Chains A and B, each alone.
Chain A
Amino acid sequence: MDLESLYQEIILDHYKHPRGRGLHDPFDAEVHHVNPTCGDELTVRVRVRDGRLEDVSYEGQGCSISQASASVMFEQLSGDTVEHALEVTDSFLELMQGRGNVEPDEDVLGDGVAFAGVAKYPARVKCALLGWMACKDAVSQAVGRGTSEVST
């Protein structure tokens, strides 16, 4: 393992040029997740309509891995169906928990495949998961409140 395989160009690019950063209104659910070991913080908002993640937005501070991962999460999940978004999230989770033994699927994860190297650094896995787990939490809160039933 070397630094370059951990910090893929794609990751550094998302870190330096985060996609869709900034919180949007209106939203159905907002969550604030922290990584207590290092102080990384992220706020995620979602708006769910007709079973779709109509809007995902985020704001936070932290290391390159946590912030780049949130940016990729935004790209991969915005506009997706709730069902598929949760599948993609699970597949990202599986990759992160795979200790480097899971082959990532670019069709499912998009730029998320760049995080494959992170799985070999257990201390950084939480950073990579921060945005995704926050989004999952926000979605389940939004769906739990029945907003997905509200049609526009």
Chain B
Amino acid sequence: MTALDAPVSGLLDVERVRADFPILARTVRGGRPLVYLDSGATSQKPRQVLDAERDFYERCNAAVHRGAHQLAEEATDAFEAARDSLARFIGGDSREIVFTKNATESLNLVAYAFSNATAKAAHGRSLPPGGDRFVLTPGDEIVVTEMEHHANLVPWQELADKTGAVLRWIGVDEEGRLDLDHPEHGLGVIGSRTRVVALTHQSNVLGTVTPVEVVASAARSVGALTVLDACQSVPHAPVDVMALGVDLLAFSGHKMLGPSGVGVLWGRYDVLEAMPPFLTGGSMIETVHMEGSTFAPPPQRFEAGVPMAAQAVGLAAAVGYLEALRSQDGLLGGMAAVEAHEHVLTAYALERLGSVPGVRVIGPTGAAERGSALSFVVEGIHAHDVGQVLDDRGVEVRVGHHCAWPLHRRFGVPATTRASFYVYNGLDDVDALVEAVERARAFFGVI
């Protein structure tokens, strides 16, 4: 079986999309067409995004929020318009959008709000009104899950070490879903001592979409904050922060067609208001005296230094690009079209890869409640070697533990091969993947 010739319902017009991405026209490894299946790590960028960044530098580059000249005004307007676009994109308010360098920084910003509040409180220093929410005492609990990316695990481990809090986690079942009913590592780990629950919306390894509403409501019932790692959801499906019921949410621009160097932390305004700053310095202050300083309200409080204005403008262009996409049958638009497109690819890939002997998918093997990150092991061949053969065919995937080492340990595998799809991938890319995996099996003699 190979890619169908007739249009498949739900797909984007891949040829048209590809034409917007200059890099996809290049060849790799001795003239092979590039089959880019590593968008889970970082996505490629359309010309519209590159143009928006260049345009900013060519027309209105200046340090935003600093200075009264015309360029500074225009640069600040462009930066703030980007904030508005991002807010609209996820259903939040502009004052609730903090620009960071990436999701890792966004998540650290929140973890540091806790450790900084705790350190200040220990010395009787003042906190923003409501800042008690961020003060931890030894024995307080932080809850994460076993499927977290290191970016949403290590900062919480550090926070526990600094404050004497206890890290607890929700486990993962055989299928790769959160094991909410587990007697020790189920939803029951959220209890009266829980102060914060940090979880992923969509696993970057398993593809699993987690039941965020259920977890967030358990957190809310004990007065804990919920922090959502939306790195793999915001780029791939419609996300409405209000519907999710979380308090804080992080994602990276570079995984959603935007430039590198810009990410977002969204937070409910009252929550952001209660948080002490992470990075301090210029642009985030209200008044400064030699004896001490007071801080600007959010989001400025969390944007110290001259920000990544051109990248934010580029990210807004990426949002515009995603919103303008239409499925080929004309029935869907924007993120709903992106989600439908990836769903078709994922179902096709699961079916085709699943029929290759020796291939075992780690994570849900059905396309329901899962995104397009698809990790697998090929019996008898280490992931690194699989990846090498794929690379030789121009098929670029990720191999290793994908920054989720405990999750790989959970499944008893040292490494997996991960294909991840995006708007410029088509059924032909799935065929190329499957053909390359078969070639790997032949090469290493495990047929």
A interface, CB within 8 angstroms of B: 1-3, 6-7, 12, 37-41, 61-66, 121, 124, 127
Contacts and interface: CB of A to CB of B under 8 A. Distances in A.
Given A7-B388, A124-B384, 16 more contacts: A2-B30, A3-B389, A3-B443, A6-B388, A37-B400, A38-B383, A38-B384, A38-B401, A40-B414, A62-B384, A63-B385, A63-B415, A64-B382, A64-B385, A65-B385, A66-B384
A129 to B, nearest CB: 14
A48 to B, nearest CB: 30
A124 B388 contact: yes
Given A37-B400, A39-B415, A41-B414, A63 B384 contact: yes
A134 B384 CA distance: 20
A95 B68 CA distance: 58
Contact of B408 (A1, A7, A39, A66): A39
B413 to A, nearest CB: 9
A37 B444 CA distance: 23
B392 A63 contact: no
Interface of B: 29-30, 382-385, 388-389, 392, 399-401, 405, 408, 414-415, 443-444
Nearest to A37: B400
A73 to B, nearest CB: 18
A127 B408 CA distance: 19
B30 to A, nearest CB: 7
A76 to B, nearest CB: 23
A61 B413 CA distance: 10
6 contacts: A3-B392, A7-B388, A37-B400, A38-B414, A40-B415, A121-B388
Contacts, number: 51
Q: 5 nearest interchain CB pairs?
A: A63-B384, A63-B382, A38-B400, A39-B414, A39-B401
A84 to B, nearest CB: 31
Nearest to B392: A3
Nearest to A16: B445
A39 B443 contact: no
Given A38-B400, A39-B408, A65 B389 contact: no
A139 B334 CA distance: 60
Contact of B443 (A7, A40, A65): A7
A7 B389 CA distance: 10
A61 B385 CA distance: 13
Tell me which of A3, A62, A65, A66 has the highest count of chain B C-beta atoms within 10 A of its own C-beta. Answer: A3
Contacts of B444: 12, 64
A38 B401 CA distance: 6
B414 A62 contact: yes
A151 to B, nearest CB: 41
Most buried by A among B383, B384, B392, B400: B384
B246 to A, nearest CB: 31
B418 to A, nearest CB: 12
Contact of B415 (A3, A6, A38): A38
Contacts of A6: 388
Nearest to B413: A39
A127 B384 CA distance: 9
Nearest to B439: A3
Contacts of A61: 414
A41 B415 CA distance: 11
Contacts of B443: 3, 7
A135 B384 CA distance: 22
Contacts of A40: 384, 414-415
Given A39-B414, A40-B414, A41-B414, A65 B384 contact: yes
A12 B444 CA distance: 8
A1 B401 contact: no
B392 A62 contact: no
A120 to B, nearest CB: 11
A3 B400 contact: no
Which of A7, A38, A41, A124 is the most central at the interface, judged by chain B CB atoms within 10 Å of its CB? A38
B230 to A, nearest CB: 25
Contacts of B415: 38-40, 63
B88 to A, nearest CB: 38
Contacts of A41: 414
A65 B384 CA distance: 9
A63 B401 CA distance: 13
Contacts of B405: 39
A124 B384 CA distance: 8
B320 to A, nearest CB: 35
Contacts of B388: 3, 6-7, 121, 124
